[in-house]
Amino acid sequence: MWAVAAGLLAGCESGPADSNATATASGRATATAPSPGGCLDALRKAKAAVQAAESTDTAWNGPRSGPAAVPGKTLVYVAQTMTNPGVAAVAKGVEEAAEAIGWNVRVIDGEGTPAGIQAAFSQAVTLKPSGIVIGGFDPRLTSQQVARAEAAGIPLIGWHAVSSPGPSTSPRLFTNITTKVEDVARISADWVIARSDGDAGVVVFTDDSIPFARNKAELIKRQLASCPGARLLAYKNIPIPDASQRTPQEISSLLSRFGKKWTHSVAINDLYFADAAPAFRAAGKPGAGPPFNIGAGDGDPSAFQRINSGRFQAATVPEPLTQQGWQIVDEFNRAFTGSPPSGYVAPVHVVTADNSGGGTSWDPEGYREAYEQIWRGRG
């Protein structure tokens, strides 16, 4: 917990990003020089929002009632790419939940290319499963395969498939599992505003080939703009499948271009910071920052490890990835019984070294027990 009011006025009048201001490992400025800021109201709101999002009171507030388990079902999880840690972690959650409910699951890797994803989805439809998961890609890439699945009566559930949680009519999804992208984008930008006391030079990393990611990045930019002192230095479009190759070069270029003006980064996925680490290290940058880096999803174990050890990532806005895998299975069970979707959307949360408890994932407490009670007919 940290005071909302402390340093508000001083922070909004703080100096430029390459001034002699010092900062803590979490990215909060501790000394500033005067200059126009004009973000007092934005800073006050950001600090309050971040304080609430960093709370560790994460008891399960999702569904506790629903249909009992339908036996003998088979799911196919079509993954955008299993090199995306979030996609892979949700697949693992689906496999875990399927074992608990007594179903079978097959994961098919689209390997991050349109052709690979289309081939994986075609294979999924050919297998005639009970349901197909669209794991982290835009269904418009696979419109023909989606049409084939619909014609075959195979229900589809998305994870990060469209921009909003809940059912979708175009494409037709029983439901889409995700936190609210608006909330994730807003809290990521607010973290930068709050931890810099309204004085930051920011780089945003995204993958514009994914509409969900592009929308998130645009929302991050919009929220940063609410504080004039949070200056957008660069917007870098790096497709996730190319991140391991391109990110180190981009980091080196950005460091050369902006130097100390670059104080904070926001990425639409934590994996950018795994790929950025060698370039930061080679440039002699301290692991604890600056720049202070926050991932606006997905909160995979490697992100937690970087945060806990102070290695080129200070925070993440994690999805409850394992819980979302369990939710996918529960939503399919509702679809198979003619019940409506649960409507559950996970709350936004921010993890730092101060509140992670040394863990490597974030999930609400008690969701496994709640789902198992439902499936046993006790919900």
88-144 pLDDT per residue, tens:
999 999 999 999 999 999 999 999 999 999 999 999 999 999 999 999 999 999 999
Residue 34 has pLDDT above 70, yes or no: no
Backbone phi and psi for residue 228, each to the nearest 5 degrees, phi listed first: -55, -25
Contacts of 71 (CB under 8 A, 6+ apart): 102
* Per-residue buried b or exposed e for 262-285, using 16+ beta carbons within 10 Å of the residue's own CB: bbbbbbbbbbbbbbbbebbeeeeb
pLDDT recorded at residue 163:
82
Residue whose structure tokens are 């460091």 = 255
pLDDT recorded at residue 24:
41
Residue 59 has pLDDT above 70, yes or no: yes
CA dihedral 69, 373, 331, 95 (to 10 degrees): -80
The amino acid sitting at 94 is V
pTM, rounded to two decimals = 0.79
pLDDT recorded at residue 297:
82
Cα separation of 271 and 301, whole Å? Answer: 11
Mean pLDDT of the chain: 89
pLDDT recorded at residue 73:
98
Cα separation of 296 and 11, whole Å? Answer: 24
Taking residue 154's Cβ as centre, other Cβ atoms within 10 Å add up to 18
Taking residue 162's Cβ as centre, other Cβ atoms within 10 Å add up to 22
Q: What residues pair up with 168 in beta bridges, in sequence order?
A: 173
295 within 8 A of 267, measured Cβ to Cβ: yes
Backbone phi and psi for residue 325, each to the nearest 5 degrees, phi listed first: -65, -40
291 within 8 A of 203, measured Cβ to Cβ: yes
159 within 8 A of 210, measured Cβ to Cβ: no
